[in-house]
A = this chain, B = another copy of it.
Amino acid sequence: MASHLVDLTTLRTVEWTRDGVRLIDQRQLPNRLTFLLCRNYRQVARAIRDMTVRGAPAIGVTAAMGLALAAKRSRHSDGKMLLLDVEKAAEIIRATRPTARNLFWAVERMLGKAREAADQGRDIRETLAAEAQLMADEDVQANRKMGAYGAELIQDGDTILTHCNTGTMATVSYGTALGVIRSAISQGKKVKLIATETRPRQQGARITVYEALSDKIPVTLIVDSAVAITMSKGMVDKVIVGADRITRTAVANKVGTFMIALAAKHHCIPFYVAAPTTTFDLTIEPTAMSIEERDPREVTEINGRQITPKKGVRVFNPAFDLTPLELVTAVITEKGVLSREQIQNMTKIRPNTGG
C-alpha cells in the first residue's frame, strides 16, 4: 500500500505522452495504482466508457487528448482528410457517456481548433496536441483557483461531507470539491472528511478514501443512506460535491447527490457544488438532459459475485441525478463563488480558453 501513496496533489490522472494517452486505471484503485496507455482514440473511447477514467473534468481532457491522438494516428497528410478522421473520432468519443458536459465542451473546442488550423493551413496534429495539453494545464489551474475561492467558505475545524470522488482522480489533478478541501488544509485549517461509499461503483469508498489517506486527511466512510442520520447527529458542517453538468435550474451529479441535498436542507447545512465553468450548460432544459443508465450488473453483482437472485429482477441504474438549484447554497468555480440567484440569471458563461 505504502508504495503507491504518491503525492496526489501533483499526480496527473491523464497525461499526453509520446506513445499515446496515459491514464490511471481507476477501476484498480485502491488495490493498485496502475497506468493504462491508450495508443489510439478507440482505446481512449473505451477507457471513458468502461470508467477506467471518470469524473467530468478528467473525462473532458481525456476526450481532448483522444482527438489529438486521432489526428496523430491519421494516415492522411491532407488537412481536409485528416479533419475527417478527427471528426469521425469525435463522433465515437461523444457517444461514450452522455451526461458530463465537459466531454462535449472538450470535443467542441478541439473540433473548432482543428477546423481553424485546417482553414489556415496550419498543422492539425501539432495544433491539437498542443491544445489538449493546454486544456489539461487549464484544468489544474482552474482547480487551484476553485480551491482558493472555495477555501474561504471553510472554517477551521469543519467536517465536510462529500459524495463520489472529486479529487485528483476526477480531474487532471488536485480536484474540484476535494481540491477546495485541499486548499483549506493548505491554509492551515483543520478539516475532517466524511466520504459516502457511492454505490454502485464505490468511488467514495475506493477512491476518495484512498486520496484522503494519501493526503493524511482524517476520513470517515459511511454508506450512502447514512447521510441523514450522520447530519442529524451534528457530525456535518458543510457539504461539497462536484458536478457533471450545471444548468440554470439543476445540477447533474453522481446519483445520490439529490438525496444528500435534501438531507442538508432539512438540517440547515450549507450545500456547495464545486465545478469548473466547463461544466456549465446554460441553454439546456434539465428535462432534455440525457441521464446515463448503466449496466444492471453494476447493481446485481459485487466483485463479480451475484447478490440478487439470478433471474427475473429488473434494475434501474441511473448514474446521475438532478439536484434542483433551490437546494444549492452556491457553486464554487474558478471564476469565483456564484450564488444560486447569479446562476439562475446567467445567460452566458465563458469557460477559460487558456488564451
Contacts and interface: CB of A to CB of B under 8 A. Distances in A.
Contact of A221 (B194, B256, B300): B300
B197 A299 contact: yes
Contact of A232 (B197, B205, B221, B321): B321
B307 A226 contact: no
B259 A263 contact: yes
A128 interface: no
Interface in A121-180: none
B232 A309 contact: no
A312 to B, nearest CB: 5
Contacts of A226: 255-256, 316-318, 321
Contacts of A258: 228-229, 232, 263
B321 A205 contact: no
Given A30-B308, A210-B309, A262-B266, A315 B229 contact: no
A268 interface: no
Contact of A223 (B199, B220, B235): B199
Identify the interface centre among A225, A258, A308, A309: most chain B CB within 10 Å of its CB.
Answer: A225
Interface in A223-247: 223-230, 232, 235
A226 B255 CA distance: 6
A44 interface: no
B259 A222 contact: no
A313 B221 contact: yes
A1 B317 contact: no
Interface of A: 1, 30, 194, 196-200, 202, 205-206, 209-210, 213, 218-230, 232, 235, 255-256, 258-259, 262-263, 266, 291, 299-300, 302-303, 305, 307-318, 320-322
19 contacts: A1-B311, A30-B308, A199-B199, A202-B307, A209-B313, A213-B313, A219-B312, A221-B308, A222-B317, A224-B224, A224-B225, A224-B256, A225-B255, A226-B256, A229-B318, A229-B322, A232-B322, A259-B259, A262-B262
